[in-house]
Amino acid sequence: MVRAAVMREPNVPLEIQDFPEPDLQPGAILLETLFSEVCGTDVHLHHGQLAGVPYPIIPGHINVGRIQRTGGAIRDVEGDVLMPGDVVTFMDVHETCNACWFCLVAKATTRCPHRKVYGITYSARDGLLGGWSEAIYLKPGVKVVKLPASIPPERFIGGGCGLPTAVHATQQAAIQLGDSVVVQGSGPVGLSAAILAQLSGACQVIVVGAPQLRLDMALEMGADAVINIEEHSSEDRTVLIKEMTGGRGADITIEASGNPQAIAEGMRMTRDNGRYVVVGQYTDAGEVKINPHWDINRKQLDIRGTWGIDFGHFYRAVKVMAKHGARYPWEKLISQSYSLDQVNQALADVASLKVIKAVIKP
Amino acid sequence: MVRAAVMREPNVPLEIQDFPEPDLQPGAILLETLFSEVCGTDVHLHHGQLAGVPYPIIPGHINVGRIQRTGGAIRDVEGDVLMPGDVVTFMDVHETCNACWFCLVAKATTRCPHRKVYGITYSARDGLLGGWSEAIYLKPGVKVVKLPASIPPERFIGGGCGLPTAVHATQQAAIQLGDSVVVQGSGPVGLSAAILAQLSGACQVIVVGAPQLRLDMALEMGADAVINIEEHSSEDRTVLIKEMTGGRGADITIEASGNPQAIAEGMRMTRDNGRYVVVGQYTDAGEVKINPHWDINRKQLDIRGTWGIDFGHFYRAVKVMAKHGARYPWEKLISQSYSLDQVNQALADVASLKVIKAVIKP
Amino acid sequence: MVRAAVMREPNVPLEIQDFPEPDLQPGAILLETLFSEVCGTDVHLHHGQLAGVPYPIIPGHINVGRIQRTGGAIRDVEGDVLMPGDVVTFMDVHETCNACWFCLVAKATTRCPHRKVYGITYSARDGLLGGWSEAIYLKPGVKVVKLPASIPPERFIGGGCGLPTAVHATQQAAIQLGDSVVVQGSGPVGLSAAILAQLSGACQVIVVGAPQLRLDMALEMGADAVINIEEHSSEDRTVLIKEMTGGRGADITIEASGNPQAIAEGMRMTRDNGRYVVVGQYTDAGEVKINPHWDINRKQLDIRGTWGIDFGHFYRAVKVMAKHGARYPWEKLISQSYSLDQVNQALADVASLKVIKAVIKP
Amino acid sequence: MVRAAVMREPNVPLEIQDFPEPDLQPGAILLETLFSEVCGTDVHLHHGQLAGVPYPIIPGHINVGRIQRTGGAIRDVEGDVLMPGDVVTFMDVHETCNACWFCLVAKATTRCPHRKVYGITYSARDGLLGGWSEAIYLKPGVKVVKLPASIPPERFIGGGCGLPTAVHATQQAAIQLGDSVVVQGSGPVGLSAAILAQLSGACQVIVVGAPQLRLDMALEMGADAVINIEEHSSEDRTVLIKEMTGGRGADITIEASGNPQAIAEGMRMTRDNGRYVVVGQYTDAGEVKINPHWDINRKQLDIRGTWGIDFGHFYRAVKVMAKHGARYPWEKLISQSYSLDQVNQALADVASLKVIKAVIKP
């Protein structure tokens, strides 16, 4: 039997259930879970803030595991055969259809209506399709990436879903050598964005966030400066950013805060004709007032909404970590590791921002 | 002596004053004014809605004239010598410094703090530096473009500042062959944007605006459909656009309305991962509430503020009109022509939307 | 039984063979062929110039047909159900895998090693997988597009594979409003590129090619000027282009000639910092000498190779034709229509450039 | 009096001449030269390989100096006043006209026909307009950048003109996080490109060049691997690159070699649908044969010629060095420093590749 944590419905504690060891279809893989992430989305799931979730579910969308069995010879994107014992991760989003208007004409696979997500859009009745479990069933076609030896599993899960999301945001940011970059938000996405901005040519990276624990981590991860939102008003923050950027504002601002009010502030922190990437508004947290004359038109601002990731972002995240993991040890973002039996505590600690990142080690 | 209409201060009628015939510095040109435009900005100037205007001024930023005299041999951007008798237009914005951070590093000349604008940033005490006058003094360095024989002066002024502004907006829109484009606003910028979208590969152009007079002009200028905002609520308009675009919304929306509320509506009219160009918020007309989760982030929307024009837009506007003026006779946008003595009436008619475009023929 | 023309091996005449009416798998479609194209690639196939072709084959990659039967309810990319009687076309390239490095990381589906092409990569032993046949078997997953009522089947086949190929090339060209564009080559790709350049904002389109029949067609399709390569040397042609473009050369040049020597010439016809799109070198026709200092580096030239098409180009081709087919009646490119029994004559006429485009009407 | 080294004509030794201390026009600056660079272009100048050079000249286009006097209050691009004693560098290319078609319409200032270059396009008769001199006269309008305290003058001159040239090339390369980058050439441009590729997100950088001294420097500066062209044939090199890049070739190749044959090799080292930046073909060194089918069209290769620099590249070079100079100490590229009296030896050592970089310390 396989033990898994099940979120039966919103706002009630998860419980551990036993599931039978699954048979494998051709093309499927069974993973022994090494680590699964607890992220803000899991808190939203637990609070019932996402529409269309087929409770009961096994949460856990970003995971690292060891291959136990495979349904025949399966190759990864590089053409290499996947073998039992390989330590791998996989792309939680899958079944983008390659047949709809968004996949084929818009080439915006993150908006494909058929996409499925491990740990979010599958019911526990459908099988071991989330990572808070001793084992995970990878359906045929799920995209698997082998972890290179230079990435310990803990480091990969320390990056978690924040890292590939930040890869997408950083691509949208189109940073040029020498740019100044402000990151709004110091959670996992913001911290990874602050690292990736450095790796993409930014010569000044400023993180605006809270609490101090996270800002200290930003500094440890190479940010040039931080601004604690618990100590400075929105107006002050904008003034501070201008002072640090020659009076003009940041060349590029990346929003990773989740707070609608951050949008107006971020527009004002960005220089005329700069670029503003919005990646943190993952759930509907309400409205914000902006002044389109000053904030968009006169400023000639370039604003780029950024939703989810595609496989390219996921693949590049692994490449970046393999190269730069020693310099930016993402495992330091893990404040605490929890067993399956502690998942409710893990959720509570993430919700209260007590931890930067929580991981499940089943 | 030269007669010119002078806006002495906001909200008082303009009066005609006599100015001496100016001497020419080397590199300067004296133009006999053939036509000058009355645009929405002139109404804003008359209402005192722009900051830092050095009243008294001679309004009129977009103009066509005939060269009377030149201060020596002056060449245009093509290297051709400008001769007395040539019918020309000139770029109202000039003295972008080519020395500041915005000119040289950001390469955003429209945000150069040293830029000057005929008809707006010059006092009448500085000379004949606006077009509501029998003659215009072109300072050395002002960029002049000869009108090709295929462009009658009336047609050029019919395009007015709306056409090059729409060239800038259409460039930002990056339309692909086959795209559907919504234009919000049916004033001179919106109508030219509707034409230029067709010329840039759009296969469906829908204009959302009012009054009917302007929408009829949009249809005459090739728009596939129009939506009258006096007849349909904002919600209805969005539903209509979705119905016309396969349920998805427009690939690209160009805002040219001047109304802050149009921003939220425009975001919702645009398809997921589409593009939204904001060019119409020329003055501060207040705030708008948006929902950053639905309107930007989840939609993965690309938003591009667009301010003013640079010489390239102006030059391309002339090229486009020379090629396509017979198919899109911009002079039809001119509802009425006014003499210098009728400038107050012209301003009133533009303010009340009685006319699509008013021009001064001194 | 179904009659089809079979190319048994290179350089021997095709012969008509009878095939049984196929059964349909779920998701498959049987088309009654209305028109199939004969294009330069078919001549290359007949001359044995493409590697890895599994002769015997049924040629014919671009086709229009009427649905006879479907294997269950099948939807097109818009989500509409396809019904018997519908007049449709389909994307010849298919089975791009959505699983390899090129599909997923490079996002260059035209370089997917698993892609298959109707009329080229299938043996006649595999079934009715080419258009020179009374019927075509569409395998599950082949992307089908309904022809709108505004596109007569003859017009679509008049565009043929040249039109979507030109859509791809024109996208790569990134034409701006007012640009001058030179097209090298006056075959089906070149003629469609000359049309699409006009539809994308070019204000001057010059076609360089031969014979005169094709250049006359270019002028009929709106080109501003043509240069006959049978009458002007390469040096003369470059001088002529410079004279027509203010002494600078074309803003953009699109190569659609198939002749390696055209590459050096095209680089020299393009202005400094212009763009050169290479789409016509479909087979290996030998080498060309270039001078990288003058032709690339000093000129700061942007060169974009363009291979094949993806579904987006195909879909947009249909959109463009639906909108602009009356203005640019592509059926005029069809010099002659041939029956199945005349396929050898059709190939000979295409090879000798006697016709602009030949089509098979089975 | 001011001592300066004068190149009287090609192929004769330079000699030291005395010049009077110049008076300053308003807006001009007199610099005490701290360091001037000897670069490959100076060798070309000495061999008479550049057209239109007004010998006698004072060579030295990239320089660092200390302000001695200024002709009035002069501000830099940030708006700060420049003061005697400030250690500065300046943009050698200047007088781009901001009035011609290339400046205004193409926005390609590197192709402005009016641009002037210190140390190259000025005669020694015009004054102290080159850096191999105890003092340099900065004409009004020359763009000056203060060296931040974190950049010792030696480090800046170690970067020399290779660094901003590599900034331009790296911008053109549009590197994405995780890309593999090959640099062809291990001279000053190539070494800086190898550094900047790392700083722009590349996760694998391979330098192909010679001699071993330079390749060792590439490794010291963080390259992942090097290939010595003295030890491997062109075919071998391409095979090696494929082996190191998953069989596909580099995502991006940057040519900085100066050898025309490198162009064909570079195209073949780059993966399908990759990008090839050509920056090293600074003088006409002859032709190269390419196969446009395989090397451009089928490969769907994106090729970007890159000429010179604009002020933005220069400015960003200083930003990058201020931030990353400790990690990449460019002064290590300086093999030897020479006095004014040793300029002929310096030229000989650069010509024979004995040194990576030679600098003049007057």
Per-residue HEC secondary structure of C125-152 comes to: HHCCCCCCECEEEECCCCCEEECCCCCC
pLDDT number for residue A177: 98
For residues A141 and A7, membership in a common domain is answered with yes
Selecting from A101, A141, A315 the residue whose C-beta is nearest the C-beta of C78 gives: A101
pLDDT at D51 over 90: no
Q: Does residue B122 sit at the D interface (CB-CB below 8 Å)?
A: no
By the CB < 8 Å criterion, does A132 face chain C?
A: no
Q: How far apart are CA A27 and CA D216, in angstroms?
A: 47
To the nearest whole percent, how much of chain D has pLDDT over 90?
96
Nearest to B104 among D99, D101, D311 (CB): D311
Query: Across all residues in chain B, what is the average pLDDT?
Result: 97
Q: Is D77 on the interface with B (CB under 8 A)?
A: yes
**CATH number of the CATH domain containing D56:** 3.90.180.10
Residue B284 forms contact with A (CB below 8 Å)? yes
| Tokens found for residue D329 | 């100490």
| Interchain CB contact of B326 with D (< 8 Å) | no
A74 in a domain, yes or no?
Answer: yes
Q: What is the DSSP letter of A283?
A: S
Name the D residues in 214-253 with CB < 8 Å from any A CB. 246
pLDDT at D342 over 90: yes
Using a 10 angstrom Cβ sphere, with 0-12 exposed, 13-18 middle and 19 or more buried, the burial of residue D211 is: middle
Q: Under an 8 A CB cutoff, do C178 and B78 touch?
A: no
Residues C285 and C168 in one domain: yes
Give burial (CB, 10 Å; 0-12/13-18/19+) of D291: buried
CB < 8 Å to B315, chain C: 178
Of A110, A272, A292, the CB nearest to B278: A292
Is D315 domain-assigned?
no
At residue C51, the pLDDT reads 87
Q: What is the mean pLDDT of residues B143-153?
A: 97
Residues of D in contact with B77 (CB under 8 A): 99-101, 104-105
* Average pLDDT rounded to a whole number, residues B310-326: 97
- Of the candidates B246, B248, B306, which has its C-beta nearest A300's C-beta? B306
Nearest to D111 among C101, C273, C306 (CB): C273
* Run of H or E including D34: strand D29-38
Q: Quick check: is C62 in a domain?
A: yes
Neighbours of chain D (3+ CB pairs under 8 A): A, B, C
Count CB-CB contacts under 10 A for residue C198. Answer: 25
| CB-CB neighbors (< 8 A) of D320 in chain A | 177-178, 201, 203
CB contact under 8 A, A292 and B294: no
Give the orientation angle of helix C162-173 with respect to helix C311-324, to 10 degrees: 100
Task: Identify the three-state secondary structure at position A131.
Answer: coil
CB distance B78–D98 less than 8 Å?
Answer: no
Structure confidence by residue, pLDDT tens digits, B335-345: 999 999 999 99
Q: Is B278 exposed, middle or buried (0-12, 13-18, 19+ CB in 10 A)?
A: buried
CB contact under 8 A, D105 and B312: yes
DSSP state of A20: P
What is the least distance, in Å, from the CA of B256 to any CA of chain A?
A: 11
- Same domain, yes or no: A86 and A123: yes
In this structure, the answer to whether residues A282 and A352 fall within a common structural domain is: no
Residue C351 tokens, joined:
């090879």
For B318, name the nearest residue in chain C, comparing CA atoms only. Answer: C178
Distance (Å, whole) CA A308 – CA B20: 66
List of chain B residues whose C-beta atoms are within 8 Å of the C-beta of residue D107: 107, 312
- Mutation site for A-interface testing, chosen from D77, D150, D177, D316 by largest number of A Cβ within 10 Å: D177
pLDDT for B250-281, tens place per residue? 999 999 999 999 999 999 999 999 999 999 99
Chain D residue with Cα closest to B143: D99
Is A145 among the domain residues? yes
B333 and B351 in a single domain? The answer is yes
pLDDT at A51 > cutoff 90: no
End-to-end alpha carbon distance in chain C:
14
Chain A neighbours, 3+ Cβ pairs < 8 A: B, C, D
- Distances from the Cα of A17 to the Cαs of A107, A135, B15, B236, in angstroms? 40, 13, 87, 49
Residue D313 belongs to some domain of the structure: no
Q: Report the residue from B111, B287, B298 with minimal CB separation from A290.
A: B287
Say whether both B129 and B109 belong to one domain. Answer: yes
C150 in reach of chain B (CB within 8 A): no
Give the gap in angstroms from C-alpha A224 to the nearest C-alpha of chain C.
Answer: 32
Residues 6+ apart with CB under 8 A from B105: D77, D311, D312, D315, D316
DSSP-assigned beta bridge partners for residue A290? B288
Instruction: Report chain C residues whose CB lies below 8 A from the CB of B170.
Output: 177
Tell me the nearest-neighbour CA distance from B203 into chain C, angstroms: 6
Nearby residues of B232 by Cβ (< 8 Å), 6 or more positions away: B240
Rounded Cα distance, D5 and D341, in Å: 8
Element (H, E) at B336: strand B334-338
For every residue of A26-39, DSSP letters joined together read TT-EEEEEEEEEE-
Does the beta-carbon distance from A105 to C312 stay under 8 Å? yes
For residue A291, give the CATH number of its domain.
3.40.50.720
H/E stretch holding D349 reads helix D343-351
Q: In terms of CA atoms, which chain B residue is nearest residue D78?
A: B101
Q: What is the DSSP string of D189-244?
A: HHHHHHHHHHHTT-SEEEEEE--HHHHHHHHHTT-SEEEETTTS-HHHHHHHHHHH
Q: Which helix (H) or strand (E) holds C348?
A: helix C343-351
The amino acid occupying position C268 is: R
Place of tokens 């009685």: B354
Nearest to D285 by CA among D76, D28, D80, D43: D43
Cβ pair C200:B178 closer than 8 A: no
User: Please, which residues bridge with residue A255 across strands?
Assistant: A184, A278
Q: Between β-strands C180-184 and C250-255, what pairing exists: parallel, antiparallel or unpaired? A: parallel
What values do phi and psi take at D352, rounded to 5?
-90, 5
Residue type (1 letter), B156: F
**Quick one: DSSP state of residue B205?**
E
Q: Is A30 part of any domain?
A: yes
pLDDT value of position C192: 98
Question: Which chains are adjacent to chain B, needing at least 3 Cβ pairs under 8 Å?
Answer: A, C, D
C185 contacts C206 by C-beta, under 8 angstroms? no
Nearest to B67 by CA among B146, B1, B3: B146
> CA of A108: which chain C residue's CA is closest?
C107
Provide the shortest C-alpha distance from residue D101 to chain B (in Å). 5
D177: nearest CB among A178, A196, A203: A196
Instruction: Determine, for residues B279 and A297 on separate chains, whether the beta-carbon distance falls below 8 Å.
Output: yes
Region B17-25: what's the mean pLDDT?
97
Q: Is the same domain home to B230 and B344?
A: no
- Top residue of C75, C80, C171, C177 to mutate, by most chain B CBs within 10 Å, is C177
Residue D72: per-residue pLDDT: 95
Domain tally, chain B: 2
Indicate the helix (H) or strand (E) that contains C240.
helix C234-244
Percentage of the residues of chain B whose pLDDT score is greater than 70: 100
Nearest-CA distance C285 → chain A (Å) = 32
Does D78 sit within 8 Å of B101, measured CB to CB?
yes
Any domain includes D319: no
3-state SS class at C196 = helix
Over the Cα atoms of chain B, what is R_g?
Answer: 20
Q: Are residues A181 and A265 in the same domain?
A: yes
Shortest distance, CA C198 to any CA of chain B (angstroms): 8
State the pLDDT at residue B172: 98
CA–CA distance, D46 with D10 (Å, rounded to integer): 5
Say whether pLDDT at B51 is over 90: no
Q: Are C199 and B177 in contact (CB < 8 Å)?
A: yes
Residue of C nearest to B316 (CA): C178
The answer, for D323 touching chain A at a CB cutoff of 8 Å, is yes
**Average pLDDT per consecutive 10 residues, chain C (362 residues; last block may be shorter):** 97 98 97 96 94 96 98 95 98 92 93 94 97 98 96 98 98 98 97 98 98 96 98 98 97 97 98 98 96 97 96 98 97 96 97 93 96
- Residues of chain B neighbouring A281 (CB-CB closer than 8 A): 292-293, 296-298
How close A326 comes to chain D (CA, Å)?
A: 13
Amino acid, single-letter form, for residue D119: G
Span A101-111, average pLDDT: 93
Do A298 and A333 belong together in one domain? no
Contact C319 B246 (CB under 8 A): no
Nearest CA in chain B to A296: B305
Whether D209 shows a pLDDT value over 90: the answer reads: yes
- Domain span at D247: 166-305
List chain B residues with CB under 8 Å of D318.
none
Q: Report helix, strand or coil for C195.
A: helix
Q: Do B104 and D315 touch (CB under 8 A)?
A: yes
Nearest CA in chain D to C309: D300
CB-based contact B320 C176, cutoff 8 Å:
no
- Round to whole Å and give the CA distance between A241 and A224: 12
Handedness of CA C175, C179, C184, C188 (dihedral sign): positive
- Nearest 5 degrees, angle CA B298-CA B303-CA B305? 155
Q: Are residues C136 and C241 in the same domain?
A: no
Answer yes or no: do B314 and B301 share one domain. Answer: no
| Interval A248-252 mean pLDDT | 98
pLDDT tens digits along D52-82: 999 999 999 999 999 999 999 999 999 999 9
User: Which of the residue ranges C352-356, D43-47, D120-124 would you say has the lowest mean pLDDT?
Assistant: C352-356
What value of ipTM does the predicted structure carry? 0.96
Average pLDDT value over all residues in chain D: 97
Domain assignment present for residue A85? The answer is yes
Do B215 and B118 lie in one domain? The reply is no
Q: Is C278 on the interface with D (CB under 8 A)?
A: yes
